[in-house]
């Protein structure tokens, strides 16, 4: 089965312009792409200088598009206040007419994105805060806060996992999708797909499930689709070139 195709960009440097990103998303939609997703960072290492807030950009993208899926890949819940994130995600889901996806992870202090701002940086503590934040978010979405999201039973949540770690994969199996990072090959994705299917069957978890892969250069999606990928994203790394992004979008998802 063919995967859905998306654009995955960092709102950095040449792309640090919210109007430009909204136009690129509109061009992607017109060209037949299925999704437009943004990195979520406060700071980043060289050569990155300019960094945009993805949430305000996503609001602009929601207003400029009508069909494509949009969302952050991924937002680190441990540095977010779950109650504020609940309001933001529902507002974006309403604005987009039910097209929001929430990508989540623990975050990283590699480039000084956590500890310099007073946020925890120990991976175990970050994992605890992620699980706690997800539980709170589900409570707010389920009716503690109103209005409710457009999407029911909830906004889809995709959890990141860095290969070959398995604890994040087990967490992701209880959600709506897995966004594995640094996969070596499609066989690794097939392994994760099997583990997730087994866990969901054992725990009685039902419903649609997404496996999302990304690559920072042109690649053949077929082997990844055969391994279970439902989304294949075209990324551009930490220093995206505007000319390259435009060329990939113009070529279309099958280009």
Task: Tell me how crowded residue 101 is: count the other CB atoms within 10 A of its CB.
Answer: 27
Task: Tell me how crowded residue 184 is: count the other CB atoms within 10 A of its CB.
Answer: 9
Mean pLDDT across 156-175:
97
Peptide bond into 147 cis (omega under 30): yes
Q: Which residues of 221-248 are buried (b: 16+ CB within 10 A; e: fewer)?
A: beebbebbbbbbbbbbebebeeeebeeb
How wide is the angle at C-alpha 168 spanned by C-alphas 25 and 7, nearest 5°?
15
- pLDDT of 1 over the 80 cut: no
pLDDT in tens, 60-86: 999 999 999 999 999 999 999 999 999
pLDDT in tens, 213-251: 999 999 999 999 999 999 999 999 999 999 999 999 999
For 35, residues 6+ apart whose C-beta sits below 8 A from its C-beta are 4, 5, 6, 7, 68, 69, 70, 101, 231, 233
Mean pLDDT across 143-164:
97
The domains located in the chain, with CATH, are 4-251 (3.20.20.30)
8 A C-beta contact, residue 34 and residue 8: no
- pLDDT of 206 over the 90 cut: yes
Q: How far apart are CA 162 and CA 178, in angstroms?
A: 10
Give pTM, 2 decimals.
0.97
Distances 126 to 78, 81, 88, 121, 135 between C-alpha atoms, Å: 6, 13, 21, 7, 14
Distances 74 to 70, 166, 197, 226 between C-alpha atoms, Å: 12, 18, 23, 25
Q: How far apart are CA 70 and CA 26, in angstroms?
A: 11
Strand stretches in the chain, DSSP E: 4-9, 35-38, 69-72, 75-76, 102-105, 157-162, 177-181, 210-215, 231-235
Q: What is the pLDDT of residue 255?
A: 84
Distances 135 to 18, 82, 246 between C-alpha atoms, Å: 31, 9, 39
Q: How far apart are CA 244 and CA 8, in angstroms?
A: 13
């Amino acid at each position: 089965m063919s995967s859905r195709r998306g654009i995955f960009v960092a709102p950095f440097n040449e792309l640090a312009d919210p109007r430009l990103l909204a136009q690129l998303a509109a061009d992607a939609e017109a060209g037949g792409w299925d999704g437009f997703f943004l990195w979520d960072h406060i700071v980043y290492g060289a050569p990155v200088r300019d960094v945009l807030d993805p949430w305000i950009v996503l609001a602009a993208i929601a207003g400029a598009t009508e069909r494509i899926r949009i969302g952050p890949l991924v937002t680190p819940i441990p540095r977010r206040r779950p109650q504020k994130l609940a309001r933001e995600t529902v507002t974006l889901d309403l604005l987009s007419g039910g097209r929001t996806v929430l990508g989540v992870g623990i975050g990283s202090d590699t480039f000084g994105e956590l500890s310099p701002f007073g946020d925890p940086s120990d991976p175990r503590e970050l994992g605890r805060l992620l699980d706690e934040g997800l539980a709170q978010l589900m409570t707010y979405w389920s009716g503690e806060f109103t209005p409710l999201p457009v999407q029911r039973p909830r906004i889809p949540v995709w959890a990141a996992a860095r290969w070959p770690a398995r604890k994040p994969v087990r967490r992701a199996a209880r959600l709506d999708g897995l966004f594995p990072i640094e996969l070596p090959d499609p066989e690794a994705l097939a392994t994760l797909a099997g583990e997730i299917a087994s866990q969901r069957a054992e725990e009685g978890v039902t419903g649609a499930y997404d496996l999302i892969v990304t690559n920072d250069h042109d690649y053949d999606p077929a082997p990844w689709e055969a391994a279970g990928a439902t989304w294949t994203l075209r990324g551009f790394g930490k220093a995206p070139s505007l000319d390259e992004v435009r060329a990939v979008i113009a070529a279309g998802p099958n280009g």
